[in-house]
Amino acid sequence: MSALQQQDDGVCGAGHLFPQTALRDPAEVMRLDRMGSFFPSRLSFMRALIRDLADAGATCNRTVFELDQHGFGRAVYAVDIGDRTYSLCAFATPLDPTERTDRVIAEAWDSSFVLFDGVPTASDLDRLHASAPRQEAARYNSHDLVLSRANRSVRLFEHVVDRLASGQQPDGGLIGKIGYLMRTTAVYGNGKFGIADRDLIQDRPVLGGAFRAEMLAVWLIRTFTHDLVDHMAYQRSPSSAVGLDRRLKRHLGIGNATGLGMAPFLVSHPELLNNWMLARETALARVRAIRVAEPGDVERFRSLLDRAALHLNQWNVDQERQQSRIVTLRNELEEVKELTSGGFLASGEPWDRLMAVADRWSLEGVELLVSTLIETYPTLVDGLADCMTATEHRRVDAGMTVDALASLIAKQWSWATELDYEDPANCRRFWYTSEDKLEPRIGDRFSEAGAERERPLDVARRVAVLAADLDDHDPHSKVAEVLLERPEHRYAVQRVQTLQRYPYSEIRDNLIGEDCLPIDMLRCKLSFFGASKFDPKSDLWTRVTLFQGAPLTDELTAPDVDDWWLPAL
């Protein structure tokens, strides 16, 4: 029985046990190339946030809108959730076009934002208006939950304003190609730069889930971008301006540029990573255990394949490697549709049989199928979204014997211990923290300085060194004795013992090898956020779209409030 099954009975998930097949082997799932092929699902944080807002009867109102004719000034959007209110405070400021950049090291932005705990007073707004445009350079307090900033899309923003001002809707093809009016370059939470610690909100309704406060901020930023173009169009031509069509608003999400700052998170939070992965794998196992697919579920599955096909046709990127993968996906999706169009799904265990033959397709093809299957069965899987947080414990079982520890390494870490770390190809990269923005970076050990400040993402190498040193100790002695003699092994011992308890907690690849692609780590994490339209700009950073297709702030009571997976225009 899995950890999630054990928690389901009144603690986590849907409140009772569901049949499920065996989970996929962590040794198969936790490889970077597969993790870098993930798609968003019903369990993604943005999806879970919107469901919870709708279930809680949340309402959203624009309470302040003080923008001049150029769209500069401030606005506030208040969300009422039960007896609590959260307010997005938005500040739009002039920006020289030469200063507009996706990089986190930028020092000026078109707009900046703070998600405020409560209803801000005039003095709160004045404080934030002075602070937010300075971002990390300013001071914040525990009322400030999230800090963010964004730049206007160079290709789309002015086009939309101009068309609306002339009484026309913007070009749908351009909106479909770009998909956002603004692109964030950072969304900070969890106590960074003096804002509120997660402990303050972790037990609150709706915001208690993973990254919910950050996702709420982004959803409200999206509303601000819609209102901003409407306002600027009217200011430009009051007699002819029209508002942005609701259908186009719904398709316009928020762009995001994500770099290496996100990658080490998956390594430094192993229990959390395990719970994300375990929820996803459990959802798949529940679907695979279905004995007979009801006609309505088959119809739903096929309609989702059609939607995915439209989404893929509207997903095009400049990077040749990813574009080639998209083309492959399009072809493979047609194969899936052909395979499942006849009587294949009418026989017993249809979804398990479908997954059994899925190895004929690429990793992206398989993982798109996984997300499609999960999307087909909301009642079966939605409760698992409550299982995706973790109380992390950095403990070591010092009473474990050396023999038991060595056995764990031999059983679960052969992928790490079999590598030759004297080979430059297996240790070329090193991870460090930049001095300017305190953000993770990656360097070349043999051509760049700074390896002495390496961050401990070299988990595989550390475990391999530990395994070699254990050969010099009495197998019946205790781990405590090893650590007294070699305290530098404490981290590796902790990782080995954590993997024993949390089977999906470890990326089973060498993160300092020259073949490591950090972009895979970024895509994995972003898929759990709910991002789509991955647009890699290198192996180190990508653009994505957030909340594309999501309900608008006045649509939380709509019957299709949760039906926006892989949107297509």
C-alpha neighbours within 13 Å on the C-beta side of residue 301 = 25
416-450 residue pLDDT tens: 999 999 999 999 999 998 876 677 889 999 999 88
Contact 479, 493 (CB under 8 A): yes
Q: Look at residue 128 and tell me if it is in a domain.
A: yes
Q: What is the pLDDT of residue 440?
A: 84
Look at 88-102, 223-237, 313-327 and tell me which has the smallest mean pLDDT: 88-102
Q: Look at residue 505 and tell me if it is in a domain.
A: no
Total domain count, the chain: 1
Q: Look at residue 243 and tell me if it is in a domain.
A: yes
The percent of residues above 90 in pLDDT, for the chain, comes to 86
Going 363 to 366 to 372 to 376, the CA torsion angle's sign is: negative
Q: What is the pLDDT of residue 106?
A: 63
Q: What is the pLDDT of residue 97?
A: 75
Q: What is the pLDDT of residue 5?
A: 40
Q: Look at residue 463 and tell me if it is in a domain.
A: no
- Asked if residue 4 has pLDDT above 90, the reply is no
Q: What is the pLDDT of residue 325?
A: 97
Q: What is the pLDDT of residue 100?
A: 67
Selection from 44-48, 98-102, 386-390 with the highest mean pLDDT: 44-48
What mean pLDDT is predicted for residues 550-569?
Answer: 96
Selection from 211-225, 379-393, 448-462 with the highest mean pLDDT: 211-225
* pTM, 2 dp: 0.94
Q: What is the pLDDT of residue 402?
A: 97
Q: What is the pLDDT of residue 429?
A: 95
For residue 518, the one-letter residue type is P
Q: What value does the mean pLDDT of the chain take? A: 93
150-169 residue pLDDT tens: 999 989 999 999 999 999 99
* Residues 6 or more apart whose Cβ sits within 8 Å of residue 507: 30, 31, 32, 35, 266, 267, 273, 459, 521
Q: Look at residue 85 and tell me if it is in a domain.
A: yes
Cα→Cα distances 115→77, 195, 217, 456, Å: 9, 10, 6, 32
The range of the structural domain enclosing residue 231 comes to: 48-259
Q: Look at residue 278 and tell me if it is in a domain.
A: no
Whose structure tokens read 């037990």? Answer: 203
| CA-closest candidate to residue 284, choices 539, 472, 20, 476 | 20
Quick one: angle between helices 212-236 and 157-165, nearest 10? Answer: 40
Q: Look at residue 417 and tell me if it is in a domain.
A: no
Q: Look at residue 139 and tell me if it is in a domain.
A: yes
At residue 320, the 3 state secondary structure works out as helix
Confidence of residue 394 (pLDDT cuts 50, 70, 90): confident
Q: What is the pLDDT of residue 2?
A: 42
Look at 97-106, 350-359, 433-442, 492-501 and tell me which has the smallest mean pLDDT: 97-106
Q: What is the pLDDT of residue 96?
A: 78
| CA-closest candidate to residue 313, choices 324, 325, 299, 327 | 327
C-alpha neighbours within 13 Å on the C-beta side of residue 39 = 25
- Asked if residue 99 has pLDDT above 90, the reply is no
514-551 residue pLDDT tens: 999 999 999 999 999 999 999 999 988 999 999 999 99
Measured between alpha carbons, how far is 142 from 116 in angstroms, rounded to an integer? 9
